[in-house]
């Protein structure tokens, strides 16, 4: 069993490269996942033993990330192949002026979220990408039809400000909607709210019987998707086309590691052969209790 730690904090960082080096040197050997450090803060998801995750929290607190938004979940299998700590320009890329270190919208606790998003004058925006929205979202939420977070400012420009005076936003763990709130405030929106801790915190804390969440929540690791109480839903990614597949999807035209119902008629002979060979090598590695590097 692996303990999974998702975290972020917007905070001014003078020397991101030094922070990266210090994290790498202090991390226990069993830690996997990715952390991104930038002048605006830190973001990432890592996993390992419970003891290692506690060590990582202590390390990051010592480095000044003592107000992190973080949450724990679990994975039966190792959710990431390796451990990476990267320096980038942004910890979540929106590609325009937004400064969450100085101003963000109003945080809304999961227990108060339902009351806010059911108000008729509130525009509820899912700040995630279109494939994430397709897998699950909150009842009544708007899909901005973005392929990546950089597309979000274009959607904001299309909002009818006369119709909606209040805006409520959410994302997987809270980082994208927090940065989006900073951007929208800079664009002149006055009442901007965002779900503290994101969808994952809501699914963890709000009882299923009172939940307004519909479907599953996509996560960027080998678990693929989580449901209420952060249970693993059984979704998989097709290796060939990266389409998210439910257990029902895999009943038709699905071959593990090779194709799914969405790409079976579009694969070239060369691509199919490569997928078959990769899957063969993966199964050999598994039979030897090893991790295939491309799995």
pLDDT at residue 294, rounded to an integer:
52
214-235: average pLDDT: 95
Is 101 annotated as catalytic? no
229-233: average pLDDT: 94
Is the predicted pLDDT of residue 291 greater than 70, yes or no?
no
Q: Which stretches of the chain are assigned E, i.e. beta strand?
A: 2-10, 32-38, 41-48, 69-75, 83-87, 106-108, 122-126, 136-138, 166-170, 191-195, 213-215, 217-218, 225-226, 236-237, 244-245
Q: Give the pTM.
A: 0.86
pLDDT at residue 292, rounded to an integer:
52
Render pLDDT for 186-213 as a digit per residue (tens, 0 to 9). 999 999 999 999 999 999 999 999 999 9
Render pLDDT for 244-278 as a digit per residue (tens, 0 to 9). 999 999 999 999 999 999 999 999 999 999 999 99
Please identify which of the residues 171, 177, 263, 275 carries the catalytic annotation: 171
Give the chain's domains with CATH numbers. Answer: 2-87 (3.30.70.100), 106-215 (3.40.250.10)
């Amino acid at each position: 069993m692996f303990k999974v730690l998702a975290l972020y904090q917007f905070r001014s960082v003078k020397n991101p490269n030094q922070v990266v080096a210090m994290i790498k040197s202090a991390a226990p050997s069993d830690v996997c996942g990715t952390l991104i450090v930038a002048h605006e803060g830190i973001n990432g998801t890592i996993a390992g033993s419970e003891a290692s995750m506690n060590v990582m929290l202590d390390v990051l607190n010592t480095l000044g990330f003592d107000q992190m938004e973080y949450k724990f979940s679990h994975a039966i299998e190792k959710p990431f192949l390796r451990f990476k700590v990267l320096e980038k320009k942004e910890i979540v890329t929106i590609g325009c002026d937004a400064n969450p270190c100085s101003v963000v919208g109003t945080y809304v606790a999961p227990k108060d979220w339902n009351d806010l998003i059911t108000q008729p004058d509130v525009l509820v925006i899912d700040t995630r990408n279109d494939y994430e929205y397709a897998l699950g979202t909150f009842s009544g939420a708007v899909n901005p039809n973005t392929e990546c977070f950089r597309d979000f400012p274009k959607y904001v420009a299309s909002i009818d400000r006369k119709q909606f005076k209040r805006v409520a936003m959410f994302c997987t763990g809270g980082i994208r909607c927090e940065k989006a709130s900073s951007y929208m405030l800079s664009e002149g929106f006055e009442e901007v709210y965002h779900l503290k801790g994101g969808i994952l915190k809501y699914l963890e804390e709000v009882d299923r019987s009172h939940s307004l969440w519909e479907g599953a929540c996509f996560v960027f690791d080998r678990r693929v998707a989580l449901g209420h109480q952060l249970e693993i839903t059984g979704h998989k990614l097709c290796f060939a086309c990266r389409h998210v597949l439910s257990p029902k999807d895999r009943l038709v035209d699905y071959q593990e590691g090779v194709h799914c119902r969405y790409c079976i008629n579009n694969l070239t002979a060369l691509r199919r052969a490569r997928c078959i060979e990769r899957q063969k090598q993966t199964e050999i590695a598994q039979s030897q209790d090893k991790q295939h590097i491309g799995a």
